Amino acid sequence: MLKIIKNGEVYAPHYLGKKDVLLAFDKIVAIEDKIDSPQDFVEVEIIDATNKLIIPGLIDSHVHIAGGGGEGSFKTRTPEIQLTDITRGGVTTVVGCLGTDGTTRSMLNLLAKAKGLEEEGISTYIYTGSYQIPVKTATGNIEDDMIMVDKVIGVGEVALSDHRSSQPTVEEFKKLAAAARVGGMLSGKSGKVNIHLGDGERAIAYIEEIVSTTEIPITQFIPTHMNRNEDLFEKAIEHGLKGGIVDLTTSTTAKFLEEGEVKSSKALRKLLEHKVAIENITFSSDGQGSLPVFNDKGEYTGLKVGRVASLYEAVKDAILEEKVQIEKVLQVVTSNPATLLKLPRKGYIKENYDADLVLLNKDSLEIDTVIAMGKTMIEKGEVMIKGTFEA
Ligand code: ZN
């Protein structure tokens, strides 16, 4: 019931120094220089974090938890995610979404998977809709989903500037953004629109037009995959400088990088060099999504599956290879998504916040321990709690 994590260096994600952290059930209740165990009247688990960093559990804000894809026909529908695909990567909160396929993947299926993962011990939210506009929802429309379904925090992943997009008009997309905004206001949620951007030349033109012709603010949108090619990344810098949110995708393939994708860790460094506000930058993994490859003629030639583990790998790479300050890197996978997506009690090591923590070995930055809602999921790199159907 009680855990004291002793002698770790706490990044909350801002640096707090060497602290003891007391967890009670699923909450963080104290962060002090020294916390003694009240062992005489209650059982306390002591976790030694000497030579370890304590960081908030990672938030992965774009994961195809119920599977995705299928661009190479039925056999290429990517499988549902398993609990340890998430927890092994230091992730304790995921935002699930559908993707290209809004027919054989449904909102109710996505919601059920999110509930299942929550029963297994992590925290989950979902976006309503899929690539296509009009979006398919759980209740019949966006506002009702946002207001009446607790887990629905916004709309997405809607595809723009992509050959797989439903090619909506700006007007149709505008209406969708308006519904997300009002639904969010009425339910106390963020109401963000998560946008899959393809390689198309229109890039973020729809967002720019809506921002310049309506009252909807630029921060209503979370365009993702903004590092997918050099041209789009240039737009990402401009968008970030105007106060827009820039989401960088961490799952990649050697071929994508060869073809001009900007590695997420490098993209983070470049955004900061261009003075884009750190608060507007997030990483997400696109985990379990399909990473299809098309040739020059737009023909499908093969497919790989995105991994949630790529999120923390990108964090490590940004710290160790790109030399971005650790506190800034941690922000893009903890406090930034929590704040932008309005996730209550998430993203910080703070009193009364959820007991979602990751312990890292100080030298290697390898993940040692993962605690989600006060339960130890990973300990010394070993899985403590498996998913229901994991051997
Ligand atoms: Zn996508």
Q: What is the domain-level CATH number for residue 47?
A: 2.30.40.10
**Among candidates 79, 25, 52, 86, which has minimal Cα distance to 311?**
86
* pLDDT greater than 80 at residue 40: no
Predicted local confidence at residue 148, as pLDDT: 97
322 Cα: distance to centroid of ligand 1 (angstroms): 25
Q: Do both 355 and 322 map to the same domain?
A: no
Q: Do both 70 and 33 map to the same domain?
A: no
Judge whether 101 and 94 are in contact, CB under 8 Å.
no
Predicted local confidence at residue 219, as pLDDT: 98
Q: What is the mean pLDDT of residues 253-273?
A: 95
Q: What mean pLDDT is reported for the chain?
A: 96
- Domains in the chain: how many in total? 2
* pLDDT greater than 80 at residue 391: no
249 Cα: distance to centroid of ligand 1 (angstroms): 9
196 Cα: distance to centroid of ligand 1 (angstroms): 4
User: Band of the pLDDT at 37, cuts 50, 70, 90?
Assistant: confident
The one catalytic residue in 101, 286, 356, 368 is 286
Put residue 137 in one of left, alpha, beta given phi > 0 → left and psi -120 to 50 → alpha.
beta
144 flagged as catalytic: no
Write out pLDDT tens, residues 98-126. Answer: 999 999 999 999 999 999 999 999 999 99
* pLDDT greater than 90 at residue 303: no
Q: Which position has the token pair 């960093």?
A: 53
* pLDDT greater than 90 at residue 324: yes
68 Cα: distance to centroid of ligand 1 (angstroms): 10
237 Cα: distance to centroid of ligand 1 (angstroms): 19
Q: Do both 77 and 172 map to the same domain?
A: yes
158 Cα: distance to centroid of ligand 1 (angstroms): 8
Q: Residue 172 and residue 335: Cα distance in Å, rounded?
A: 32
Q: Do both 278 and 333 map to the same domain?
A: yes
Question: Which residue type, as a one-letter code, is found at position 57?
Answer: G
Lowest mean pLDDT among 181-185, 289-293, 303-307: 289-293
Q: Do both 214 and 313 map to the same domain?
A: yes
99 Cα: distance to centroid of ligand 1 (angstroms): 7
CATH classification of the domain holding 157: 3.20.20.140
Q: Residue 313 and residue 308: Cα distance in Å, rounded?
A: 9
Residue 217 lies in a domain: yes
Question: Which residue type, as a one-letter code, is found at position 114?
Answer: A
39 Cα: distance to centroid of ligand 1 (angstroms): 50
Main-chain dihedrals φ then ψ at residue 19, nearest 5 degrees? -140, 160
Q: Do both 85 and 145 map to the same domain?
A: yes
CA atoms within 13 A on the CB side of 367: 29
Q: What is the pTM of this model?
A: 0.97
Q: Do both 369 and 331 map to the same domain?
A: no
Residue 361 lies in a domain: yes
Residue 390 lies in a domain: no
Predicted local confidence at residue 294, as pLDDT: 81
Write out pLDDT tens, residues 49-67. Answer: 999 999 999 999 999 999 9
Q: What is the mean pLDDT of residues 290-312?
A: 89
Write out pLDDT tens, residues 73-88. Answer: 999 999 999 999 999 9
Token pair of 243, please? 């106060």
Q: What is the mean pLDDT of residues 316-334?
A: 98
Q: Residue 263 and residue 74: Cα distance in Å, rounded?
A: 30
94 Cα: distance to centroid of ligand 1 (angstroms): 15
248 Cα: distance to centroid of ligand 1 (angstroms): 11
* pLDDT greater than 90 at residue 9: yes
350 Cα: distance to centroid of ligand 1 (angstroms): 33
Q: Do both 42 and 62 map to the same domain?
A: no
Write out pLDDT tens, residues 288-297. Answer: 998 888 888 8
Residue 388 lies in a domain: no
Q: What is the mean pLDDT of residues 213-226?
A: 97
Write out the H or E segment, with its range, that includes residue 16.
strand 15-24
157 Cα: distance to centroid of ligand 1 (angstroms): 7
380 Cα: distance to centroid of ligand 1 (angstroms): 33
Q: What is the mean pLDDT of residues 28-48?
A: 90
Predicted local confidence at residue 302, as pLDDT: 83
Q: Do both 321 and 197 map to the same domain?
A: yes
Range of the domain at 26: 2-55+348-383
Residue 389 lies in a domain: no
Q: Residue 126 and residue 97: Cα distance in Å, rounded?
A: 6
Q: Do both 149 and 246 map to the same domain?
A: yes
Residue 391 lies in a domain: no
* pLDDT greater than 90 at residue 41: no
Residue 239 lies in a domain: yes
41 exposure class (CB count in 10 Å sphere: 0-12, 13-18, 19+): exposed
Whether the bond into 157 is cis, omega within 30 of 0: yes
Q: Do both 254 and 377 map to the same domain?
A: no
Q: Do both 49 and 61 map to the same domain?
A: no
User: Band of the pLDDT at 225, cuts 50, 70, 90?
Assistant: very high
